[in-house]
Amino acid sequence: MSFSRITILGPGLLGGSVGLAASGAGHEVILWGRNPERVEVALKIGLEATTDLKDAMKEADLIILAVPVGVMGLLFESISGNLKPGAIVTDVGSVKALPHRVAKEHGIPFIGSHPMAGSEQTGIEAARADLFKGAACALTNDQERPNEELRAVASFWENLGCVISVMNSKDHDRAVARISHLPHAMAVATAGAALRFSGDEFLAAGGFRDTTRVASGDPEMWAEIMVENRAAVTAALHDAQVELREMLDHLAKSDKKGLQSYLAKVKARKENPSGNL
């Protein structure tokens, strides 16, 4: 099983980048968007694009949702009657339980995809064909679609440069809360704390830039992601509070030795995350 014609719904950074990469890999690609201005940008960067959803869906073998989590329900409803027999729907979102649930409600054959290749940049203007080179991509198959379909979706992402893993949506959402959503939340907290009392004299050192880079991401998108994955994100943030309290306790006691031991323990855990440290 392979995909000749790819339809991408959503003309943003990821949608545009998937389009460029898939075109470069030999697929016939069309991108759909509601905003005529974004569609015009897609045309300018060499993609076939339209604002007509039915036209975009014609003969598509693989449909990729590259839209905010909050509008997936409406989009699933819109495409449910326009799928070519045998077509598969996937997405690029960082929360997987929701799209699986909504796809099931609308009877849509769905395999979730999460290529972990985002950026603090937004918009199709930032799209690039090499965005997925070496990126991890998690696939979720809660519908238990046939292995042939799962292999085909995996091959598609591998051809774009991704490294594939397969898991269920619950395990995925719990994992990304730790490795993606928590780091974003902590980057925001770090930027907020560092800039709270800064004036014109504020110096942006390299550590500040590196630690807070992702805090420049799209607030609307990240608010949706964090709310949809709120249980796992909340648990991760509570654990972050435990870590902060330990540092605060050592500082309150002027306990240099204890703080050094704590920093060394976390350093070792980071450098060997699979070890029993």
Rounded Cα gap, residues 16 and 30, in angstroms: 10
Rounded Cα gap, residues 233 and 218, in angstroms: 18
125 and 190 share one domain: no
**DSSP symbol at 137:** E
155 and 176 share one domain: no
| CA–CA distances in Å: residue 153 to residues 69, 100, 150, 211 | 20, 16, 5, 34
Write down which residue in 132, 167, 202 finishes a domain.
167
Mean of the per-residue pLDDT values of the chain: 91
Alpha-carbon radius of gyration of the chain: 21
Rounded Cα gap, residues 219 and 200, in angstroms: 25
pTM of the entire structure? Answer: 0.85
Name the one residue in this structure whose structure tokens are 């050192």.
205
Burial class (CB within 10 angstroms; exposed 0-12, middle 13-18, buried 19+) of 11 = buried
Closest by Cα among 234, 226, 263 to 246 = 263
Q: Evaluate whether 35 touches 53 at the Cβ level (below 8 Å).
A: no
Closest by Cα among 194, 252, 33, 239 to 127 = 33
9 and 76 share one domain: yes
Closest by Cα among 68, 78, 70 to 108 = 78
87 and 28 share one domain: yes
- The domain tally of the chain equals 2
Q: How many CA atoms lie within 13 A of 137 on its CB side?
A: 27
Query: Which pLDDT value is given to residue 202?
Result: 63
Residue type (1 letter), 242: V
- What's the domain range around 227? 172-271
Write down which residue in 167, 200, 233 finishes a domain.
167
The string of pLDDT tens digits covering residues 53-91 is 999 999 999 999 999 888 888 899 999 888 999 999 999
75 and 202 share one domain: no
The string of pLDDT tens digits covering residues 189-217 is 999 998 887 665 566 678 888 889 888 88
The string of pLDDT tens digits covering residues 114-132 is 999 866 677 898 899 999 9
Rounded Cα gap, residues 114 and 24, in angstroms: 20
Query: Which pLDDT value is given to residue 261?
Result: 96
The string of pLDDT tens digits covering residues 259-271 is 999 999 999 999 9
Write down which residue in 129, 151, 167 finishes a domain.
167
Q: What CATH number corresponds to the domain at position 74?
A: 3.40.50.720
67 and 198 share one domain: no
> Which residues, at least 6 apart from 275, have a Cβ–Cβ distance to it below 8 Å?
268, 269
Q: What CATH number corresponds to the domain at position 211?
A: 1.10.3660.10
- The partner residues of 139 in beta bridges, in order of sequence, read 113, 166
Query: Which pLDDT value is given to residue 117?
Result: 85
150 and 178 share one domain: no
222 and 176 share one domain: yes
